[in-house]
Structure 1
Amino acid sequence: MRGPGSTAVSELLAIEDLVSLLGLSFKNVRELNRIVDTKLSSGRPRFIRREIVVSGESFEVFYRDVIQCIRALYGDPEFADLLVFAPERHYTDETEQSRIYFDLHTGKWWWETQAALEKRRPGATIIPIIISSDKTQLTLFGNRTAWPVYMTIGNLPKDVRRKPSRRGQILLAYLPSARLNHITNLAARRRAHANLFHKCMSTILKPLIDAGINGIRIASGDGVVRRGHPIFATFIGDYPEQLLVTCCKNGTCPKCAVPRSELGSTTEPERELRDLNAVFRALDEVDNTARVYSRACRDAGIKPVKHPFWEDLPYTNIFRSITPDVLHQLYQGVIKHLLEWLKAAYGTEEIDARCRRLPPNHQLRIFFKGISTLQRVTGKEHADICRQLLGFVVGLPLRHGTSAIRVVRAVRALLDFLYLAQYPAHTSDTLSLLQAALRRFHENKVVFVDLAIRAHFKFPKLHALDHYVEAIKLFGTTDNYDTQYTERLHIDFAKDAYRATNHRDEFPQMTQWLERREKILRHDVYIQWRLQRTAEQEADATMQAPLESQPLPPRSPSAPLSRIYSIAKTPNVKALRFHEAVDKYGATFLRDAIARFVVKYRSPLFSAQEVDHESRNIFLPFATFPAWHRIKFRLEDLQNFGIMEATRDAAHARPTRVDRRNRPVPARFDTVVVEDSDSSATDGIKKYRVGRLRLIFRLPSKACRQLFPNVVSPGPLAYIEWFTAFTRPDSVHGMYKVSRCRNDRDELLASVVEVDTIRRSCHLFPTCSGTISRDWTSSTVLDACEDFWLNPFSDLHMYMTLG
């Protein structure tokens, strides 16, 4: 499980008396493997090794019985309480005007397939089959590759399918990844490659034909037996895999028959899919001459592949089953192109200069060397760049003197589409916003043609964005089928398995290693279940004991409310003095701010003038107080559907320090979003205000008893330097502008507030027209700049907050 070689483990077990002292039932690795192979069960089928013959050449494929894989997932006791057996419709309110889409069972595909199946076999339970495949490199150097195929079922919730630790995905097969270099003709090699893929997939998925039509008796983890119909629902893969699966030609759309001349020219979300009946008629000509079959396939818009694997699968439209791919179509596709266009439009020097001078934030990665020097940029790095991309171009003039308004609008539109496309739940309203964002980009993209950066936009990944809305309506939100989740499986099912082999004839060893690993994981679940059951039995025995023998827990006056923030139990500074707070933390007016807070806390109805007057009479009966350097936040579900996973956030307020190597580390005082007690707004962004967190502290208990004799003492406090309130967003890029608040003496306005009024951290872009000041740094820009734009793209939660 942890990777040591068998020799190392055998040497460990060979230590004198180790086996007897530990009470082990094995003396070496061979005996351990024999126990795993013969005494443990995995609950999942073993791999089958089979030869596939294509064009007179044989290839090895390792695969599992797909029906047994379905039974393993469907009948796993861990998933018994999670399975979904029927489609559902969800709405935002009782009027049922706005529908909610999130998981696969809330989409239209399941409803339509259920209705079609009920006409032939009433009482059916659909088991949606989700297949994903992607060829991956096993070694950093060399040409070792693997082509894993993964399978899961749509009855499992998407949060289970997304997480490898939940084991909701099964490695279904290793396809042969032969390069076929002996075929010198490129067209013939591509045809052979496609025929090999479909022959292997046909062999693997053939049992779904009869099972999908007639059904199978299948038991869920709670023992209930149903008649299940496994139906191929979606295929997850990047663009080359999509073309391979649908037999479409390179440079075309794998879903619709849009002409190449119209790719990316406009947005048309209602475009019809490819004609499946016309494709079937072409495939029926397979027994005719090669020329006739090729012509029929060409007229239908597909490659002349013999018997695609989906040809006989019931209730399957392969062109509808192709799903959006946020990772490759957006991050590694359109966004990657956009970055190149912006570098050409603005130059890399100023973009890199702005990149290095952004203030730090918990959600952001600062590229201190800029982004122009990055090579082999990953999807995660593109996501990190998107969090700050708008700040690179706002206020920056184009090199040729052309107005940059259309460029900024195009960037904002694509970022809006990117973030909206990743919503964990969609409604009819948010889908309209998604469509509108794409339309805005198409309205402004011509600026890149005017700048001689692009000649056209005829590339499939831009056109693929047209299909997002309909795919979400059919199969739920994009986190049901994004390749960034399935590609994570390569580590567990391909790369780690390869490292466990001797790198010779690796696939038999990889499959055996995976089977043993599954048995160990299943055994570990059993052990945990036994321990939990024993603990529950002991607890039940304690509850049944005589009442007088049970110690009662201490009672608290009131149960604490669940908080969205937390601070460490132990303060970073146990006794901070006032002059240290001023010198090290910049809390210049801390005494006055605490005095005003005390008056306001004791008398909430006082006016500002009354608070100022009464605060002059407040005496602070303490000289030191504890201080913390970080607040952690657990951000709530803003959609209020109970679907969005909690977002982790943090805000720092720490002075300059030195690290372990005695190197100076700059001070960091983050900006945060605070509830504005003076605002009349009840919802939306205007009920909040941006402030800079200078100090996190708590009043000593003895002082609290003196300052608040008749009220409950406040919790942790924060010293905040204020920015101006929100007004209107900018008409071009849609961001809110905030500036430092100063009084008539040019002093920064600050207050002490309770920490529980701070909702989260936020990130600011410094405003600058033209080149950014080279005197600014990432650690000093918040002090040096006066005006800022509030960054809406620091994370999805912030985007929803500002939306």
Structure 2
Amino acid sequence: MGRHRRNSSDDSANDDINQANIVDEFAANIPDQEPSVVEGGVEWGKAVEYCLNVPRVYVGGLTFMDVFNQDDYTHQRTEVPWYPFASQKDWEVAYWLMRTNLSMSEIDEYLNLSFTKENSLLFHHTKELHQWVEMLPSGPRWKYEDILTDFPMKHLLRIFYRDPIDCLQSLLSNPQLADCINFNCQRVYKSVDRLSRVYSSFMMGDHSWYLQCQVPQGAVMIVAALGSKPVFLILMLNSIHPMHPRHSDPDPDARPRPESFGPDSFRIGLVLPMSCPVVSTPTDKTKVTNISGNRYTHPVLISLANIASSMCAKVMLHAYLLVALIPVPKFVHSNVRVRGVLVDRLFHQCLSIVTESLKAAAKMGIMMNDPIGNSRYCFTPLVSYVADTPEELLFKDPFRHPLHKGLSTLARIKAVLRSISHADVSKFFVTCKKFNLNGIHEPFWLDWPLSDPSQFITPEALHHWHRMFWDHDLNWCIFVVSVDELDFRFMLLQVFVGYRSFKDGISTLKQVSVRDH
């Protein structure tokens, strides 16, 4: 963050901006290359086309059970199925306690009851219980990294995260999701005359088709989705064309601790594809401690857009995995605007750390196992970023502009850096505002192949569509027909399976969720 650039005149900066605009206009006028098509024939009365770059399958992969049996205690479990627990009784009690919302002190209180002691359990307090649980086969391991900046902060911060590639592999290997994962890009038409397209998943859209044509022959598109709440991911999966985290790392310092989160909150927002995974990250503040600090975090969840959205909505399938907790610090600076820019820069810095393995896979590819144990060659460009409007402002301002590609944004940043150093945050931010920039000099997508903000920043469905209707459209209807008439018409609507019915109308609703919409 302390690197300086040589100064140049404003005319040179304006020339770079104008050149970037020309590049954008030229790119916008280039028609997309039509990839070769494999005719899929007619299925259920619909015409189907498949991309010529068909994903290949390689032998030698691992299934879920193959990975499960690579655990250090596999041999012991062949003799004692409940290992490391001594009996089924110990396992059932431990399983129940770990899935409840009881605190550590409440679990200790339960284990100290006379009734519990009479059962002679293998563990007698919470820490001992956790030690036994951590011997079970685990999913992706947690790790942490200290966040260092050139500007002083009130607290030393750590980012806790898991390798997103490991999380995606965990989802791919889940046998419960094997029948609802789609690896093939396709174009579906309502009839054989191919006049009307059908869009019901990301893999049926034009963007997935384009990405599949950019990866090497035989590589596979696995679209991943990131977010802070599953509801956002379901909305994203329906709109882009269209686990419980267990701290299994034996190193206690590698576990997320609230005191390392910082005094305020955490942010994240992102969306990534795998082998073209897509990742989308909405952010919603979540309290992680009560009374002791009142610390908050924005948890980052990851899922696969290849999975049918109806299956992602089933909580018991664990289609969402917690991948990161990204801190937002308090910088020691008198200027409020400068503190805001520093927080935004730290956000991109943390996001770069979390997505490092995804960037590497997007450049070179990576071999991953599919649900049935085959191996596939995968690439991971970023294709969607789903976030609340405040988090989207980390990438753009709230005003409408002509279409600009990521290259033009990078050209603008480069032009500003020629005239002033990014270390002078106040002056750098003022100069950036002239070019519609937000003061970020190294965006996290800078070195991410096939990832462009003009593509991966998607509409925020909950507020832009659903809340828009509730806050504005509905009020217009009430103004036109009156409350009583509108309630009466909602009460007369026929009840359909899967849809919400309003037998008392809608005027009495106070807080409306996505299901109500």
- 2:491 & 2:358 partners in 1: Cα distance? 55
Shift of 1:286: 6.3
- 2:486 & 2:290 partners in 1: Cα distance? 34
Alignment pair present for 1:145 and 2:309: no
**Partner residue, 1:351:** 483
Structure 1: which 5+ runs fail to align? Answer: 259-272, 384-803
- Among 446, 458, 476, the residue aligned to 1:311: 446
**Partner residue, 2:409:** 279
Contact kept in structure 2, 1:53 and 1:59, CA below 8 Å: no
- 2:175 & 2:110 partners in 1: Cα distance? 36
Contact kept in structure 2, 1:183 and 1:189, CA below 8 Å: yes
**Partner residue, 1:158:** 309
- The residue type equivalent to 2:447 in the other structure is D
Alignment pair present for 1:189 and 2:339: yes
- 1:11 & 1:143 partners in 2: Cα distance? 25
**Partner residue, 2:366:** 216
Alignment pair present for 1:177 and 2:353: no
Shift of 1:110: 1.4
> Which has the greater radius of gyration?
1
Specify the SS of the correspondent of 1:236.
coil
- Among 266, 272, 279, the residue aligned to 1:130: 279
**Partner residue, 2:141:** 45
**Partner residue, 2:133:** 36
- Among 489, 492, 502, the residue aligned to 1:365: 502
- Among 252, 261, 264, the residue aligned to 2:399: 252
Q: What is the TM-score normalised by the length of structure 2?
A: 0.60
Specify the SS of the correspondent of 1:283.
helix
Shift of 1:73: 1.9
Task: Write out per-residue CA displacement over residues 593-647 of structure 1, whole angstroms, 9 at most, x where no aligned residue.
Answer: xxxxxxxxxxxxxxxxxxxxxxxxxxxxxxxxxxxxxxxxxxxxxxxxxxxxxxx
Contact kept in structure 2, 1:13 and 1:28, CA below 8 Å: yes
- The residue type equivalent to 1:102 in the other structure is S
- Among 187, 212, 234, the residue aligned to 1:114: 212
- 2:200 & 2:506 partners in 1: Cα distance? 39
Shift of 1:355: 3.4
- The residue type equivalent to 2:142 in the other structure is R
- The residue type equivalent to 2:220 in the other structure is T
- The residue type equivalent to 2:462 in the other structure is L
- The residue type equivalent to 1:131 in the other structure is S
- The residue type equivalent to 2:129 in the other structure is L
Alignment of 1:361-510 (within 5 A): 363-366=500-503, 370-371=507-508, 377-380=511-514, 383=517
- Among 240, 253, 257, the residue aligned to 2:390: 240
- 2:339 & 2:141 partners in 1: Cα distance? 34
- 1:15 & 1:329 partners in 2: Cα distance? 52
| Distance of aligned partners of 1:354 and 1:76 in 2 relative to their CA distance in 1, 3 Å threshold | closer
Contact kept in structure 2, 1:52 and 1:200, CA below 8 Å: no
Specify the SS of the correspondent of 2:212.
helix
- The residue type equivalent to 1:305 in the other structure is I
Shift of 1:199: 0.9
Contact kept in structure 1, 2:328 and 2:346, CA below 8 Å: no
- 1:338 & 1:295 partners in 2: Cα distance? 38
**Partner residue, 2:353:** 203
Alignment pair present for 1:329 and 2:459: no
- The residue type equivalent to 1:229 in the other structure is F
- 2:209 & 2:492 partners in 1: Cα distance? 47
Contact kept in structure 2, 1:19 and 1:26, CA below 8 Å: no
Task: Write out per-residue CA displacement over residues 626-670 of structure 1, whole angstroms, 9 at most, x where no aligned residue.
Answer: xxxxxxxxxxxxxxxxxxxxxxxxxxxxxxxxxxxxxxxxxxxxx
Shift of 1:360: 7.3
- The residue type equivalent to 1:200 in the other structure is C
| Distance of aligned partners of 1:286 and 1:156 in 2 relative to their CA distance in 1, 3 Å threshold | farther
| Distance of aligned partners of 1:40 and 1:290 in 2 relative to their CA distance in 1, 3 Å threshold | same
- 2:489 & 2:182 partners in 1: Cα distance? 49
| Distance of aligned partners of 1:159 and 1:33 in 2 relative to their CA distance in 1, 3 Å threshold | same
- The residue type equivalent to 2:414 in the other structure is D
Structure 2: which 5+ runs fail to align? Answer: 1-98, 222-273
- The residue type equivalent to 1:30 in the other structure is K
Alignment of 1:593-604 (within 5 A): none
Contact kept in structure 2, 1:131 and 1:149, CA below 8 Å: no
**Partner residue, 2:163:** 65
- 2:502 & 2:290 partners in 1: Cα distance? 26
| Distance of aligned partners of 1:295 and 1:32 in 2 relative to their CA distance in 1, 3 Å threshold | closer
Contact kept in structure 1, 2:491 and 2:502, CA below 8 Å: no
- The residue type equivalent to 1:278 in the other structure is S
- 1:236 & 1:337 partners in 2: Cα distance? 23
CA RMSD of the aligned region, Å? 3.3
**Partner residue, 1:452:** none
Shift of 1:287: 4.5
- 1:341 & 1:183 partners in 2: Cα distance? 46
Contact kept in structure 2, 1:285 and 1:296, CA below 8 Å: no
Contact kept in structure 2, 1:151 and 1:170, CA below 8 Å: yes
**Partner residue, 1:26:** 123
Shift of 1:307: 0.6
- 2:488 & 2:180 partners in 1: Cα distance? 46
Which structure has the higher relative contact order (CA within 8 Å, separation 6+)?
A: 2
Alignment of 1:486-565 (within 5 A): none
- 1:17 & 1:382 partners in 2: Cα distance? 45
Figure out how many residues of one structure are paired with residues of the other and give that number: 351
Q: Higher strand share goes to which structure?
A: 1
| Distance of aligned partners of 1:311 and 1:82 in 2 relative to their CA distance in 1, 3 Å threshold | same
Q: What is the TM-score normalised by the length of structure 1?
A: 0.40
Alignment of 1:512-661 (within 5 A): none
Task: Write out per-residue CA displacement over residues 329-387 of structure 1, whole angstroms, 9 at most, x where no aligned residue.
Answer: 122235412344556x469xx5258638964776433557944xx66x3344972xxxx
Farther off after superposition, 219-228 or 11-20: 11-20
